[in-house]
Amino acid sequence: MPISPPTTIPSPVPGGDRAGPAQLPDGSAAAGSCRPPDLQPIERLLDANLDRAREGLRVLEDWARFGLDRPDLVARSKDLRQRLGLLHRDSYKWARHSATDSAAGLTHPAQSARSSPDQIVAANAARVQEALRVLEEFGRGIDPPLAEEAARCRYRLYDLEADLLRTHRDGDGRRSLLGSCSLYLIVGARSRDVVAGALAAGVRIVQYRSKAADPLNDRQRLLEAQELRRLCHSHGALFLVNDRVDLALAVEADGVHLGQGDLPLPVARRLLGPDRLVGSSTHALDQLHRAVAEGCDYVGVGPVNATPTKPGREPVGLAYVAAAASACPVPFFAIGGINLTNLGAVVAAGARRVAVVRAITAAPDPQAASAALLEALARVDD
């Protein structure tokens, strides 16, 4: 869609109602013109956020080009970047003065934690979205065409981000990420804050397990799972659904986890296709061997200890963990009442990955609890 050049709102100058500063054909002020002092901070702000948005879009564009080989996504990223470029007035660039910007060069520890393409894409998409919102809010009074275009670009970016992240989530990408995960978090209903804290600490696989006893209907489960999937993907983490293949497909989850009484694994695989993950709970070696033979991507091994999340189920103890460590050709996660206190014994039995519920969800500070567990697991291979 063609973009008309931005209009300029005449600005008052000291000394009366004379015309504003001399303007160039693009609507910006000519060099040397006297800009109203109260306008200059807004112009600097617009310039900074136009730069942020265009730089972030270039990161997305280059990943679509060199990482994904997707010309269609390249074109969409470039279109947004060029739309903003056409509205980047010279007067905004002239308002720059980095030497007096007290926040120039500030960084955040989260920047050094971005190691996967998904994390980089998500971080830069968020950067662009935030910059577009600033342009939309502050541009209304000084540059309405810019504000309107920023709003249009922001809504288009939501879909572009989803497509960029979804494209990278093929079977190999998911399985590679699964293999790097040491801590698997299982959550129930109303767990957004817990998941957000765990992801911030570095957890990279989350399972949503909403049982019949939860006070939610299927529509509510759908909305909750969609929110958690978006949150996980924004951190480059895997999101799985317990039991429900239909729900996993509906929210575009990375896979499902099946219990011994759930849908047979070959049926779930046929419905999900080859690129999504399928995990299986096992309580004995014969179940583990069968799950592997049927093509599972990982298994749960437990319950190691008695746990209220599985009332009435006898714990299998550490012997099964040791047997799985010797016999399992796919990643396995020890599960069942595991916490920082007993983690050492589970690791000594041969586990290098664990799945937890209450060790994080019942902690006063889920982020700190997640970080402590991750740190303890990281020491295993040191």
Indicate the residue type of 170: D
Q: Kindly report the backbone phi and psi dihedral angles of residue 356, in degrees, each rounded to the nearest multiple of 5, phi listed first.
A: -135, 155
**Within 13 Å of residue 180, how many CA atoms lie on the same side as its CB?**
14
CATH 3.40.50.2000 fits 171-381, yes or no: no
As its CATH architecture, domain 40-100+113-168 has: Up-down Bundle (1.20)
Q: Kindly report the backbone phi and psi dihedral angles of residue 259, in degrees, each rounded to the nearest multiple of 5, phi listed first.
A: -90, 175
Of the candidates 221, 267, 274, 266, the one whose C-alpha atom is nearest the C-alpha of residue 248 is 221
Q: State how far the Cα of 268 lies from the Cα of 59, in Å rounded to an integer.
A: 37
Q: State how far the Cα of 359 lies from the Cα of 346, in Å rounded to an integer.
A: 14
**Within 13 Å of residue 19, how many CA atoms lie on the same side as its CB?**
6
Distance of CA 239 to the CA centre of its chain: 10
Of the candidates 60, 83, 76, 75, the one whose C-alpha atom is nearest the C-alpha of residue 132 is 83
Classify residue 216 as exposed, middle or buried by CB count within 10 Å of its CB (0-12, 13-18, 19+). Answer: middle
Peptide bond into 303 cis (omega under 30): yes
Q: State how far the Cα of 315 lies from the Cα of 345, in Å rounded to an integer.
A: 15
Q: Return the SS3 of 335.
A: strand
Of the candidates 101, 141, 176, the one whose C-alpha atom is nearest the C-alpha of residue 8 is 141
In the predicted model, residues of the chain with pLDDT beneath 70 are: 1-37, 98-115, 167-169, 381-382
Whole-number Cα distances in Å, 371 to 19, 129, 296, 360, 378: 61, 29, 28, 10, 10
Taking the domains of the chain in order of start, what are their residue ranges? 40-100+113-168, 171-381
pLDDT at 159: 86
Count the helix, strand and coil residues of the chain and give each as a percent rounded to the nearest 5. Answer: 55, 10, 35
Helices 144-168 and 117-142, axial angle in degrees (round to 10): 170
Q: Which two tokens stand for residue 122?
A: 């998500």
Q: State how far the Cα of 174 lies from the Cα of 184, in Å rounded to an integer.
A: 14
Cα angle 69, 118, 123 (rounded to 5 degrees) comes to: 115
Indicate the residue type of 188: G
pLDDT at 14: 35
pLDDT at 84: 97
Indicate the residue type of 16: G
Q: Which two tokens stand for residue 21?
A: 């500063």
Q: State how far the Cα of 334 lies from the Cα of 354, in Å rounded to an integer.
A: 5
pLDDT at 18: 31
Of the candidates 313, 326, 284, 277, the one whose C-alpha atom is nearest the C-alpha of residue 301 is 284
pLDDT at 100: 55
